[in-house]
Structure 1
Amino acid sequence: MSTTDSPSPLSPEDVAVITGNLDEVAERARAAAEAAGRSGDEVRVLLATKTQPVEKIRVALEHGFTLIGENKVQEITGKAEALADLNPETHLIGPLQRNKVNHTLRHARCIQSVDNLALAEKINNRLDVLDETVDYFVQVNTSREDSKFGVAPEDAEALITETRKLDRMRLRGLMTIGLPGSSPDEIRPSYSDLRELSERLRESGVMAAEATELSMGMSADFELAISEGATIVRVGSSIFGARA
């Protein structure tokens, strides 16, 4: 299919599968929050839409889910026009190269993957030119895997201290990608460590008291992440099926 071709419409059966999955994930997230003694309203489901076609994303947005996340800047820009009428809250959840900052700020309301000062300064400088602001998360590599982006937990305080001086950026909280373990006991520390770090940095005043967001957990483990305090869970395959 060329880039100028219109996507094939989804069948009613396809639509029913997606909306059914959305309802199921929302209910599971609500139940996990309540089981942890929290309100179901405290957790938002972010639709991880990497490689997913626009027609599937539109079904989810029209079903009442407004928060979407893309891993790549080119996917944000490539889908923005086709989704503009539905006004989604778009987050960048993948790594951001400094030479892609300009394109990102045109469409993303939040950048969840800030993990170094040079990137944060580049973002802030561009926002000065645009006379705009953006929300951000600091990504922390709580699993300490070499293959993952994110600042080391012991270096998060220094990074946040510096990024908070950048007046065009509003820190909402912390983000992590959990360890892909085979049991809850293996995975849980990735999430509990982020929660404990957030609590410690807010108690010490390094992070503002209102920077309470924790973006963590994906399709395979979002209920576990919620039990450890997640406020945003990034769910894709459980809703849309395997990536295209």
Structure 2
Amino acid sequence: MIYINDNLKFIKEDIENILSMQGRNKDSVNIIAVTKTIDIESIQKAIELGVRDIGENRVQELMEKMNVFKKNANYHMIGHLQTNKVKYIIDKVSLVHSLDRISLAKEMDKQAKQKDIIVDALIQVNVAEEESKFGLSVKEVIPFIEEVLNFQNINIKGLMTIAPFTNDEKLLRDIFRKMYNLKQNINDKNYENVDLEYLSMGMTNDYRIAIEEGSNMVRIGTGIFGKRNY
């Protein structure tokens, strides 16, 4: 498990260096440890080393890890969320990263009302409009937000995107910059119950570029835990 310690240390120092060069606070980026397929022992080690935020793609895996780690972590639903699974996690997650359709917003609001809670969510944006990915196009985001404003038990806390897996730095910068500009545009409108605190973009292969372009939340799995065992 020494490698997890080394990996975390490297990533934290790397992020601090990027932030320092930008004149940003060294603690201004949240690291979400993506634990998809990762064994319990490895996650426990990461928690012991200071990881507090765990991100999962599937509800079943997320619930299994909640049962093990209880309140020792904050839980994030980062994958596509089916409406029939909302009821299982709505009162247990810190943040839903993948709000991408009105049917999901309706169900989240309904379940949150029943439990008398406010659920925090990020809107998933498919900036590159890849057919293989979920999310709204950039032009759909503001009309979507204006619809979601009708749901009193949802707080929109930011935006999330998954960039194409590519070494094309210019393409990645263009995508992340569009996200940053979209966030600024929405914040300028001063919608009630919309506080875009988080810009969740950047993963193991592109988090440096994402942070340079304004990300303050990165989702890192392989960079912490090594290659996944499917």
Q: Is this a same-fold pair by TM over 0.5?
A: yes
Corresponding residue of 2:66 = 80
Identity of aligned residues (%): 32
**In structure 2, C-alpha distance between the alignment counterparts of 1:141 and 1:85, rounded to whole Å:** 32
Q: Residues 169-184 of structure 1: matches in 2 within 5 Å?
A: 169-184=154-169
2:80 matches 1:95: yes
Corresponding residue of 1:212 = 197
Q: Residues 48-127 of structure 1: matches in 2 within 5 Å?
A: 48-86=34-72, 88-127=73-112
Q: What TM-score does the superposition give when structure 2 sets the normalisation length?
A: 0.95
**In structure 2, C-alpha distance between the alignment counterparts of 1:236 and 1:190, rounded to whole Å:** 21
2:12 matches 1:34: no
Q: What TM-score does the superposition give when structure 1 sets the normalisation length?
A: 0.90
**In structure 1, C-alpha distance between the alignment counterparts of 2:156 and 2:203, rounded to whole Å:** 22
Q: Looking at CA atoms only, which structure, 1 or 2, has the larger radius of gyration?
A: 1
Q: Residues 129-168 of structure 1: matches in 2 within 5 Å?
A: 129-168=114-153
CA spacing shift, 1:208–1:167, aligned 2, 3 Å:
closer
**In structure 2, C-alpha distance between the alignment counterparts of 1:80 and 1:41, rounded to whole Å:** 26
**In structure 2, C-alpha distance between the alignment counterparts of 1:210 and 1:132, rounded to whole Å:** 17
| SS of equivalent residue, structure 1 residue 160 | helix
Unaligned runs of 5+ in 1: 1-13
CA spacing shift, 1:209–1:139, aligned 2, 3 Å:
closer
Render the CA deviation track for 1:181-219: whole Å, top value 9, x for unaligned. Answer: 222112111211100000011112247674231000000
CA RMSD of aligned residues (A): 1.4
Greater alpha carbon shift after TM alignment, 216-225 vs 36-45 = 36-45
Q: How big is the shift at 1:35? A: 1.8
Number of residue pairs the alignment of both structures matches? 229
Unaligned runs of 5+ in 2: none
